[in-house]
Chain A
Amino acid sequence: MKAARAFIVAVSGALVALTAAAQPKELVVGSSATYRPFAYESPTKEIVGYDIDMIKAVAQKSGLQIRIVNTPWTGIFAALNNGDVDLVISGVTINDKRKQSYDFTAPYFEARQLIAVHKDSPVRALKDLAGKKVGVVTGSTGDDVASREFGKNSPNIRRFESTPVVIAELANAGLDAAIGDNGVIAFRAQEHKTLKTVSDAGFSKEYFGIVVKQGNKALLDKLNAGLAAVKADGSYGQIYRKWFQADAPALPAQ
């Protein structure tokens, strides 16, 4: 029995070594492709978007082989924890709570929360949404903002899997408002004639970062080096212009 087990271990060890030697390790990148224009599936089933262009540029600069896998947002941190993916780029806002459990690269995008409402809505700011039905994506920054403002157990907060679903529910009059990241909310709201967006000056500046498992310093350093190079040589500005038709804001190095 013991000998057999030792044999199996030896063979599988050799196999792993062989495959590892044959090709440089391909890193799996998790991204939730319901987040246009950051990451979404093109008609040809390819995942495209700002996030995807950024991670490809970063990988190229730091000599990493990557493969992008569409990972549902709800399970994306679990996938990182259990090793299904090596890193996550999916419009993840850097915040203190997440920093306790994961490591982030330097920012690659400046974000703000944005409110979407019906065209005839009198809502001017976040506080006007008190007592109204507000849709957010589960566990997103918008969820945090709404939970802080209206109480995390409030029945007026309606949580959904993805931004398109939140906006569909809003457009169908199931909600009074939706809160989410500016890039996505603005893009989705302009698809519907009956919606408009409202920005609240109280929302603070936030940044998106690439996420790795806590303590994976080797990968983090490589990604940061690649990201710095992407910012320095102007590809960051190019990619930003391609997706948002505007000049890229300067990002803090940390």
Chain B
Amino acid sequence: MEQALWFGWFRADIIAEYAPLFWQGLRMTILVTLICIVQGTTLGLAIGMARLAEARHAPARQLCRYALRWPATVYVSFFRGTPLFVQILLIHFAVLPVFVNPADGLLISGETARHLKQNYGAFLSGVVALTLNAGAYISEVFRAGIQSIDRGQVEASRSLGMSFGHTMVQVVLPQAFRRMLPPLGNNAISLLKDSSLISAIGLAELAYAARTVAGAYSRYWEPYLTISLMYWVLTLALAWAVRKMEARYGRGDSR
């Protein structure tokens, strides 16, 4: 390909040469981010509720403590207390082979496992690691959000005869969600950026495309500047979406 110099130093031709890798990478980054936002939020909600679970009488009281609160606390502590990069490597090279392995996978083995690992191995490990990690952080957002709603509201709904579930869904969560939106938006943006770490296990996302080009040409400005701009545009879009949602759900407060 002809050398194309922009502004006298930017070799645009090497980006053009690898354009398919960048576009596929962009799509993969968006896909991973969206899946992990949805799954991480769902998991975070479940874990957040588990950390707040309480009951007055035995045996539900003990059950809440040992089967819900403790495991949830340990989980959050582990995933917030270890680097995401380490979690990705651990899950991909150690945990996943135990469950999905052509030789002796606990969950899936044989030809299916081979097919799964070869085509979706890095994707699977990356999504699992990122979801588990995001779930831990998001559960804290939910916990803080729920705890920020005055206890009196729960007491009032319960004395009106509403069940715990009803109280949560109809009274507490709608108000808490409004307060949780900004930190949830922050988490979504972190998720998007953290997805770049999955390139270490060979998932062809944006950072992988840049690494490939840098490796092939030993040039660093072009590939990394290109993906920086792409990430930036994506985070701007996410931030815009969160602002829209805040405006939409914040209306109740400013009536």
Partner of B202, one of A144, A147, A159: A159
Q: Are A143 and B216 in contact (CB under 8 A)?
A: yes
Given A172-B101, A173-B113: A78 touches B118 (CB 8 Å cut-off): no
Docked complex Cα distance between A152 and B15 (Å): 12
* Interface contact B93-A172, CB-CB below 8 Å: yes
A-B contact pairs, 22 of them (CB 8 A): A74-B211, A74-B215, A77-B218, A98-B218, A133-B119, A138-B214, A139-B214, A139-B215, A143-B215, A144-B216, A152-B17, A155-B24, A158-B202, A159-B211, A165-B200, A165-B201, A169-B93, A172-B96, A173-B101, A173-B117, A174-B121, A174-B202
Contact A152:B216 (CB < 8 A) given known A161-B200, A173-B114, A174-B122:
yes
Known: A173-B114, A173-B117. A139 touches B218 (CB 8 A): yes
Find chain B residues with CB under 8 A from A147 CB. Answer: 216
Besides A161-B200, A173-B103, 7 new A-B residue pairs in contact (Cβ under 8 A), listed by A number:
A133-B119, A152-B21, A159-B208, A165-B200, A169-B93, A169-B121, A169-B202
Knowing A74-B211, A77-B218, A173-B102, say if A135 contacts B202 (CB, 8 Å). yes
Any A CB within 8 A of the CB of B20: yes
B4 → chain A closest CB, angstroms? 17
- Please give the distance in Å from A120's CB to the nearest CB on chain B: 10
Q: Which 6 A-B pairs have the closest CB atoms?
A: A139-B215, A138-B215, A77-B218, A153-B20, A174-B121, A158-B202
The CA of A172 and the CA of B113, in the complex, are separated in Å by 10
- CB pair A152–B18 under 8 Å, yes or no, is yes
A153 and B218 in contact (CB under 8 A), knowing A159-B212, A172-B101?
no
| In the assembled complex, A190 has its CB within 8 A of some CB on chain B | no
Tell me, rounded to whole Å, the shortest Cβ–Cβ distance linking A117 to chain B: 13
**Category for how many chain A residues contact B:** 20 to 34
A156 to chain B, nearest CB (A): 10
Once the chains bind, are A160 and B202 in contact (CB under 8 Å)? Answer: yes
Are B212 and A133 closer than 8 Å at their CB atoms? no
B48 contacts which chain A residues (CB < 8 A)? none
Within 8 Å of chain B (Cβ to Cβ): is A175? yes
**A46-93 at interface with B (beta carbon < 8 Å):** 74, 77-78, 81
A16 at the interface (CB under 8 A from B): no
Give Cα A174–Cα B93 distance, bound, in whole angstroms.
Answer: 10
Interface of A toward B, CB cutoff 8 Å: 74, 77-78, 81, 98, 101, 133, 135, 138-140, 143-144, 147, 152-153, 155, 158-161, 165, 168-169, 172-176
Digitize B117-157: 1 where CB-to-A-CB distance is under 8 Å, 0 elsewhere.
11101100000000000000000000000000000000000
Question: Which of chain B's residues has its CB closest to A137's CB?
Answer: B215
B214: chain A residues at CB < 8 Å are 74, 138-139
A155 touches B202 (CB 8 A): no
In the complex, whether B198 has a CB less than 8 A from a CB of chain A is no
Shortest Cβ distance from residue B113 to the other chain A in the assembled complex, whole angstroms = 7
- CB <8 Å contact, B118 and A176: yes
Min Cβ gap A3→B in Å is 36
- In the assembled complex, the CB of A116 is this many whole angstroms from the nearest CB of chain B, namely 15
Does the CB pair A153–B18 fall under 8 Å? Answer: yes
Q: Which residues of B contact A158 (CB under 8 A)?
A: 122, 202, 204
A240–B41 CA distance with the chains assembled, in angstroms: 56
Residues of B within 8 A of A152 (CB): 17-18, 21, 212, 216
**Given A98-B218, A176-B118 in contact, is the A138-B212 Cβ separation under 8 Å?**
yes
Q: Who on chain A is nearest to B101 by CB?
A: A173
Contact A174 B118 (CB under 8 A): yes
Which residues between 174 and 188 of chain B lie within 8 Å of chain A, taking CB atoms?
none
Cα–Cα distance between A74 and B199 once the two chains are bound (Å): 13
- CB contacts (< 8 Å) of A165 on chain B: these are 200-201
Q: Which residues of B contact A140 (CB under 8 A)?
A: 215
Chain B hits for A139, CB < 8 A:
212, 214-216, 218
- Given A101-B218, A152-B216, A159-B208 in contact, is the A175-B118 Cβ separation under 8 Å? yes
B59-96 vs A, CB cutoff 8 Å, 1 = contact: the mask equals: 00000000000000000000000000000000001001
A159 x B118 contact (CB < 8 A) = no
Question: How distant is A32 from chain B, measured CB to nearest CB, in Å?
Answer: 12
Query: Closest residue to B208 on the A side, CB-wise?
Result: A159
